[in-house]
């Protein structure tokens, strides 16, 4: 069986929902994972923020506007009177719940409950739409099988056993619709897999059921060789290895949640990226195959903080780096890049929630310098470190200040740390000289 995930744009309008229906209605049994309609999760996050800022009226205003837009979509999507009324009743229940939330004290759990509503809305609406079109479908509630543990890792044994329970209860259906993104945590409270997490839901389910393939359907024809939001003339890549895809997703290619390939790579379950608006395009196939050497794609990750830890006296001492790493471990903050010299070590983090506390500890053992607003630009490709183009990098980027460079951590990745204000220029230059064959 295959698992097909459709993102926010794919379910973001009646026209696109109709495309999704045509794509999935081929007579084969399948699991369909849906995101919230595009824009909804952002609105829900904004509503939660209003509540935490003690601005209930602004939250209610947003809730009413969103409610109204859902009613318009329902009127366009569901011409069947009974289904139209049923879905409106469900949707009103969700919006009444959101209004009730504005009277409550803000907490992380409340925020998680609020942002979970987007996927609950889209799946209920879409399942009703399939009923209207006489397609045999069933809703599998993600909150009855998707769970993460205290380290925010999917609890695969739990997911496998609970998924097969809910699946077996509805085993005579053709299409199983479930919510992406949302899950329970170790205390059985509503939680989520972080923004963009529906991709991750799809591969977690894919691994749990040992799917033949996981397909991620979105608004672009696969993984491009550079960020299409910032660079012109980017091109889709037809094949990627799991390693290459993992590096690109982790280092900022927004098309994939950073953890997307993690659950499926051990079993070699292929992941195919496809365009809902152009289903005939080849897209990208992520699989075990390895490809030719060379720089295949570039991605960038923002909001990086660089920390330089200087200690002429202690750096060479045994155990100094251990002490440094222990401080980051205590505050559950992972390190992305690291470089060392005789007198200093520089490293980067992307989660600065506990930065103040980390700095207090670090200052006890060294002198610290912090640079905010940094971006990691990452060049990815099979054996990229050995490729003939690699020697050109410093020449291409001679007028960009490179703060750190990571080479050889894996053969598939070279990462550069630059100031975020130079990001677009850097991506453009790399694109011209590496992919458009502009000569130096």
Only one of the segments 188-196, 206-214, 229-237, 405-413 lies at the binding site for Mg ion (rule: CB under 5 A); that segment is 188-196
Q: Using CB under 6 A as the criterion, what x/- string covers residues 299-328 for binding ligand ADP?
A: x-----------------------------
Residue 228 interacts with ligand ADP (CB under 6 A): yes or no: yes
Q: How far is the CB of 196 from Mg ion (least distance, A)?
A: 4
Only one of the segments 69-77, 153-161, 214-222, 374-382 lies at the binding site for ligand ADP (rule: CB under 6 A); that segment is 214-222
Q: Using CB under 5 A as the criterion, what x/- string covers residues 148-187 for binding Mg ion?
A: ----------------------------------------
Pick one of ligand ADP, Mg ion, ligand ASP, none as the site partner of residue 219 (Cβ within 5 to 8 A by kind).
Answer: ligand ADP
Residue 8 interacts with ligand ADP (CB under 6 A): yes or no: yes
Helices of type H across 251-392: 262-265, 320-330, 355-363
Contacting residue, 4, 7, 16, 241, with ligand ADP by CB under 6 A: 7
Residue 196 interacts with Mg ion (CB under 5 A): yes or no: yes
Helix (H, G, I), strand (E, B), or coil: what is residue 256? coil
Kindly give, in sequence order, each residue whose CB lies less than 8 Å from that of residue 381, ignoring residues fewer than 6 positions away.
244, 291, 293, 294, 295, 296, 297, 387, 412
Strand segments, DSSP code E, in 97-189 are 137-140, 175-179, 182-184
Measure CA 107 to chain center: 23
Pick one of ligand ASP, Mg ion, ligand ADP, none as the site partner of residue 180 (Cβ within 5 to 8 A by kind).
Answer: ligand ASP
Residues 12-51 that bind ligand ADP (CB under 6 A): 35
Helix (H, G, I), strand (E, B), or coil: what is residue 160? helix
Q: Which of 30, 363, 87, 77 is nearest to 206 (CA)?
A: 30
Kindly give, in sequence order, each residue whose CB lies less than 8 Å from that of residue 244, ignoring residues fewer than 6 positions away.
291, 296, 297, 380, 381, 382, 412
Q: How far is the CB of 203 from ligand ASP (least distance, A)?
A: 12
CA atoms within 13 Å, Cβ hemisphere of 366: 26
* Structure-block tokens of residue 318: 């045994």
d(C-alpha 155, C-alpha 72), whole Å? 38
Q: How far is the CB of 4 from ligand ADP (least distance, A)?
A: 12
Compare residues 8 and 206 and give the one whose CB is closer to ligand ASP: 8
Binding-site ranges for ligand ADP (CB under 6 A): 7-10, 35, 196, 218-220, 223-224, 227-229, 253-255, 299
């Amino acid at each position: 069986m295959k698992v097909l995930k459709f993102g926010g744009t794919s379910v973001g309008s009646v026209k696109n929902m109709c495309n999704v229906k045509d794509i999935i209605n081929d007579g084969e049994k399948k699991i369909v994972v849906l995101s919230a309609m595009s824009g909804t999760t952002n609105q829900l996050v904004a509503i939660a923020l209003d509540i935490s800022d003690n601005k209930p009226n602004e939250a209610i205003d947003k809730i009413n506007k969103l409610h109204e837009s859902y009613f318009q979509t329902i009127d366009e999507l569901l011409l069947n009177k009974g289904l139209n009324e049923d879905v409106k009743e469900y949707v009103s229940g969700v919006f009444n719940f959101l209004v009730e939330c504005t009277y409550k004290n803000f907490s992380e759990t409340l925020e998680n409950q609020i942002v979970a509503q987007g996927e609950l809305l889209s799946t209920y609406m879409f399942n009703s739409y399939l009923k209207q079109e006489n397609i045999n479908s069933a809703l599998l509630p993600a909150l009855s099988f998707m769970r993460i543990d205290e380290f925010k890792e999917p609890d695969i044994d739990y997911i496998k056993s609970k998924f097969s329970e809910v699946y077996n209860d509805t085993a005579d259906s053709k299409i199983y619709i479930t919510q992406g993104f949302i899950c329970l945590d170790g205390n059985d409270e509503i939680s989520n897999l972080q923004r963009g997490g529906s991709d991750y839901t799809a591969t977690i389910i894919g691994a749990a059921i040992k799917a033949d393939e996981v397909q991620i359907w979105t608004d672009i024809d696969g993984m491009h060789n550079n960020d299409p939001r910032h660079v012109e003339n980017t091109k889709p890549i037809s094949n990627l290895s799991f390693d290459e895809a993992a590096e690109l997703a982790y280092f900022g290619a927004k098309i994939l949640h950073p953890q997307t390939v993690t659950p499926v790579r051990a079993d070699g379950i292929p992941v195919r990226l496809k365009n809902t608006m152009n289903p005939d395009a080849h897209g990208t196939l992520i699989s075990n195959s390895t490809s030719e050497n060379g720089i295949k794609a570039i991605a960038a990750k923002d909001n990086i903080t660089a920390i330089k830890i200087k200690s002429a006296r202690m750096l060479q001492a045994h155990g100094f780096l251990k002490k440094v790493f222990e401080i980051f471990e205590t505050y559950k903050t992972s390190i992305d890049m690291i470089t060392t010299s005789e007198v200093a070590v520089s490293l980067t983090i992307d989660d600065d929630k506990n930065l103040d506390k980390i700095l207090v500890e670090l200052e006890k053992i060294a002198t610290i310098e912090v640079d905010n607003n940094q971006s990691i630009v990452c060049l990815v490709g099979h054996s990229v470190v050995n490729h003939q183009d690699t020697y050109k990098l410093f020449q291409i980027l001679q007028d960009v200040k490179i703060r750190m460079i990571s080479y050889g951590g894996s053969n598939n990745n070279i990462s550069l740390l630059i100031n975020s204000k130079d990001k677009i220029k850097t991506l453009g230059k790399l694109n011209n000289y590496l992919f458009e064959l502009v000569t130096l």
